[in-house]
Amino acid sequence: MKKAFTVCALAVILTFAYNSELLAGWLIYHKPEFRGKIIDADTKAPIAGAVVVAIYNSYPIISGPGGGSAKIIKIKEALTDESGVFHIGSYTTLIQPNSVEDTVTFIIFKPGYSSYPNFSTYPFMYIDIYSLFTSELGTKRKIIKNSEEILITNGVVELKRLKTWDERREAQRFLIANQPVKHWPILHKMVEEEHEWIKNNRGWKLEQP
């Protein structure tokens, strides 16, 4: 009985896998390298020491009555250098037969600045982050948004300097409790340090120049 069930399950999976839409990203999970530059939204100066986290997800082909949800299979971190540039190498691995590759999600964090995805930072209101970080860094492209032509610089993300205690409190709220610290030690350390700063600086407001 168990053998018959296994054969039947494999047959269903193979049927789905040979569907042209599901064949891509089945068994072999592959994502390209990501490269970008983080800068100050006001001064346009590079932001060094910002952490960029890439979260690699898969999705079940067959799930229960309640439907399936994305599963994290890998997390990578990178810090921006003095030029504000970060690089995350390509990633390839095998995944279980009942999964196909899903999107990569990102977190960008630097204490004192707006963060992603908590705050709307430029240019994510115009373009998705995956496309931004897989295009050649520094090249330009034109996109149409609400009948308006927008010029985008590929790979460049602008973060706003935060001015109040409430803004800094909101910017560091990430859902990271479900993953062990070892999976994102840099982000975890930064968030913990920001928690401590927020606790000790209630009511803080940046003095205007």
Residue 15 has pLDDT above 70, yes or no: no
CB atoms within 10 A of CB 88: 20
- Assign 112 to helix, strand or coil: coil
- 135-149 pLDDT per residue, tens: 999 999 998 888 888
Strand partners, 46: 39
- 53-89 pLDDT per residue, tens: 999 998 777 655 555 567 889 999 999 999 999 999 9
- 155-207 pLDDT per residue, tens: 999 999 999 999 999 898 876 656 778 888 999 999 999 999 999 999 899 87
Q: Which contacts of 183-188 are long-range, i.e. CB under 8 A and separated by 24 or more positions?
A: 183/75, 184/53, 184/75, 184/77, 185/77, 186/51, 186/77, 186/79, 187/51, 187/53, 187/77, 187/107, 187/109
Phi, psi of 143 (to 5 degrees): -130, 160
